[in-house]
Structure 1
Amino acid sequence: MNPGQEPLVVVRGATLAYRGHRVLRGVDCRIEAGETLALLGPNGAGKSSLMRIVAGRLPPESGTVRIAGADPFREREARRAIGWVPQEIALYPRLTVAENLSVFAQLSGIGRRERKAAVQAALDLADLGEVARRPVGHLSGGYQRRANIAASLMARPRLVLLDEPTQGVDLHARAAIHAVLARLREQGAAILIATHDFAEAERLADRVAILADGRLIHEGRLALLLERIRAEVPEHEVALTNPAGPDAVAALRRAGFTPIDTGLTWRASHRAGLDGTALLGSLRAQGVPVGEIRIRAPGLDAIYREALDRAGPDRPLTLHTGNEA
């Protein structure tokens, strides 16, 4: 960004209530052109509401939202600069991929003469050429999600908003979607992505913003946040041979561990200086069915837990490792 130039997206002091419930509480947010911001937070934290006001679908009750200096709720040209990719597939299942893109090109105001080229450009960007003539309803979930993204790109938006773009797809489809987003970024688009998948956020994001109870509780450049937390202490990860009983759970919690999945894996940051061998012996002596102890560098999930712990001890924690199909 040039000195003195505003970021592409600027949100200042945004508040919003829904049916009497306050969902955004004075949120400040910015995104530079060509930058990817990952939006994290528990369910109900306000992520989707923030994305809707950035997209111009809702006005904030107070505060301001500006896209390239314009209000997206009140100014049509500002909305034309935005590509919105909802979590649900918003396509016509009986139409082919190319036919869907042509419809969305028309809705975006692209003239008949330019439409064919715009459709082809979107097919190329999302690598959908091989399925262009197939009905969307006959495609796999991964292809449908890529077509969903392509449909939002017909007007060549400067900002692309994605809500859980890889939810429910396999690893191959996730990689293909990530490749689409990488090409978008190379073309200079700013990207705002709401996700529960920490591995996805680590792979894609330049910066991360963590929401809880409608407040932005932590924000920063991902590389700097990871550098700081990895300089402090490694994490121990305990894999159990079977679910822990009440006594074993109590022992794990006393040692500072918390479960990260179905109860077969527990994780903690240890500052007491115990190495893996000593920790293994200590836990087994207390009846914990430990199969393996792994030492790992803390990742974005550790930053997330730390942010929520500082914000309040009773906040829910949603963890995804990115390994799910």
Structure 2
Amino acid sequence: MTPDPAAEVRDLAFSYRSHRILDGIDLALARGETAALLGPNGAGKTSLMRLLAGRLVPQAGRVRVAGGDPAREPGIRRAIAWVPQEIALYPRLTARENLEVFARLLGLPRAARAPAVARALARAGLEAAADRLVGVLSGGYQRRANIAASLLGEPALVLLDEPTQGVDQAARAAIHAVLERLPESGAAVLIATHDFAEAERLADRVLVLQDGALRLDGRLADLLAGLRAGPPEHEVALAEAAGPAAAAALRQAGFHPASPLTWRAGSTVAGGRDGAALLAHLRRHGVPVREIRVREPGLDGLYRDVTEAAPPDPVGADLEIPA
């Protein structure tokens, strides 16, 4: 385990209505580290974050943040920033007024509130929008204000659940710029995301959770270096979504769907054909190919290998846990 970690769980287990959600989780998050938490829906990601935030109590094992138990020690919960997917702000107050309310709720002394609000606004890049009503701000600004509110107490642990969900590319880049700076204060940052590019940009470390168990835990640079020492991947971009016959032809050639219009495969595809021969082969079989690209393997390929190799376990899948 990491010496003096910001957060640590040991042999953690959690169930809901007799369904096992998490089982045997061991994890330590270092100060100044950003970890990406990946996994399919129902894997237990949000439950793990709620346990770390003290919102849930484990059935077995232990959770420690900044040396204390967040489920039983209110003082420890104040050292944790929990940023859920939902915007948890008052729409009829300005961004500044929202932060002032949360500073009072956090119990900050009167003299410390204004400086804390100013710091949080600056860290989230919100100075220009500080005095606008939250309800009229764009989704990206609202998410940044949500993050700013969580930073008022100078947390030891920052938990973010899908922090860029539903925002455009410009807002996403602005949020990423905020998140990249969070570890500078010495906080550990855990980001649950389905966005592999986001994980590659922000994370030092990657965790893959599936069926309530950690299937992968490693340094991102090491994982990508291992992948990229091997052959490149082929990526087929389609002009339209593949119908059943085209999808069958792509699968027979060794491809798998990465999105409705993108299919990927390793270097040895369609009997070892080169790009031109592969293009001709797919088009002969009715595949609406727009282009074929050769790309370095990325985190998405590693994730696919890990999750497809794990035996299926439907217990607790897609189970929603109340907040």
Q: TM-score, normalised by structure 2?
A: 0.92
Query: Superposed, which structure 2 residues align to 1:173-252 within 5 Å?
Result: 173-252=171-250
Task: Find the aligned partners of 2:71 and 2:241 in 1 and give their Cα distance.
Answer: 51
Identical aligned residues as a percent: 64
Q: Deviations over 1:231-254 (max 9, x none)?
A: 122111112233334332222111
- Matches for 1:61-210 after TM superposition, within 5 Å: 61-210=59-208
SS of equivalent to 1:23 = strand
Q: CA deviation at 1:164?
A: 0.6
Q: Deviations over 1:9-50 (max 9, x none)?
A: 111111111122111111111110000010001111100000
1:268 to 261, 265, 268: 265
| Partner residue in 1 for 2:308 | 309
SS in 2 for 1:288: coil
Give the whole-Å Cα distance in 2 for the aligned partners of 1:290 and 1:174: 29
Deviation at 1:270, TM superposition (A): 2.8
Amino acid across the alignment from 1:184: L
CA distance in 2, matches of 1:287, 1:6: 58
- Equivalent pairs counted in the alignment come to 312
Map Cα deviations across residues 252-273 of structure 1 (whole Å, 9 max, x no partner). 11111112222x3211113364
Check whether the contact 2:66–2:156 (CA below 8 A) recurs between aligned residues.
Answer: no
AA aligned opposite 1:20: S
C-alpha displacement of 1:217: 0.8
29-38 vs 245-254, which deviates more?
A: 245-254
The answer to whether the Cα contact below 8 Å between 2:35 and 2:205 also exists between their aligned partners in 1 is yes
Give secondary structure in 1 for the equivalent of 2:20.
Answer: strand
CA distance in 1, matches of 2:173, 2:115: 26
Change (3 A) 1:244 1:83: closer
Distance 2:225 2:210 in 1: 23
Q: CA RMSD in A?
A: 1.7
Supply the distance in 1 between the matched residues of 2:245 and 2:131 (Cα, whole angstroms): 59
Shift of 1:313: 6.6
CA distance in 2, matches of 1:232, 1:10: 34
Question: 1:134–1:300: structure 2 CA closer, same or farther, 3 Å change rule?
Answer: same
- Take 1:195 and 1:165, find their aligned partners in 2: how far apart are those partners? 8
Structure 1: gaps (5+ residues): 316-325
DSSP-derived class of the 1:133 partner: coil
Letter in 1 for 2:295: R
Q: Please tell me whether residue 300 in structure 1 is matched to residue 304 in structure 2.
A: no
SS in 2 for 1:177: helix
Give TM-score, length-normalised by structure 1.
0.91
Which stretches of structure 1, 4 residues or longer, exceed 4 Å deviation after superposition? none
Q: Distance between the aligned counterparts of 2:107 and 2:162, measured in 1? A: 27
Structure 2 partner of 1:287: 286
Contact 2:79 2:154 in 1 (8 A): yes
Q: 1:215 to 1:313 in 2, by over 3 A?
A: closer
Q: Is the Cα contact below 8 Å between 2:164 and 2:172 reproduced in 1?
A: yes
Separation of aligned partners in 1, 2:249 and 2:15: 43
Instruction: State how far apart, in whole Å, the 1-side matches of 2:132 and 2:243 are.
Output: 52
Matched, 1:41 2:30: no
Distance apart, 1:314 and its partner CA: 8.9
Matched letter for residue 270 of structure 1: S
State the alpha-carbon separation in 1 of the partners of residues 237 and 313 from structure 2.
25
Give 1:274 shift. 3.3
The 8 Å contact of residues 8 and 65 in structure 2, kept in 1 or not, is answered as yes
- Give 1:69 deviation, angstroms: 2.2
Q: What secondary structure sits across from 2:62 in the alignment? A: strand
Counterpart of 1:184 in 2: which secondary structure?
Answer: helix
Structure 1 CA distance for aligned equivalents of residues 312 and 238 of structure 2: 26
Decide whether aligned partners of structure 1 residues 314 and 51 sit closer, same or farther in structure 2, where only a CA change above 3 A counts. closer
Name the aligned partner's letter for residue 52 of structure 1: R
Q: Distance in 2 between matches of 1:314 and 1:156?
A: 39
- Compared with structure 1, are the counterparts of its residues 288 and 313 closer, same or farther at alpha carbon in structure 2 (3 Å cutoff)? farther
Given residue 69 of structure 2, which amino acid in structure 1 is its aligned partner? D
- Give yes or no for contact 2:155–2:187 (8 Å, CA) kept in 1: yes
Cα deviation code 1:111-168 (max 9, x no counterpart) = 1111111111111111111111111111111110000001111111111100011101
The equivalent residue for 1:322 is none
SS at match of 1:260: strand
What CA distance in whole angstroms lies between the structure 2 residues aligned with 1:252 and 1:313? 24
The answer for the alignment partner of 2:317 in structure 1 is: none
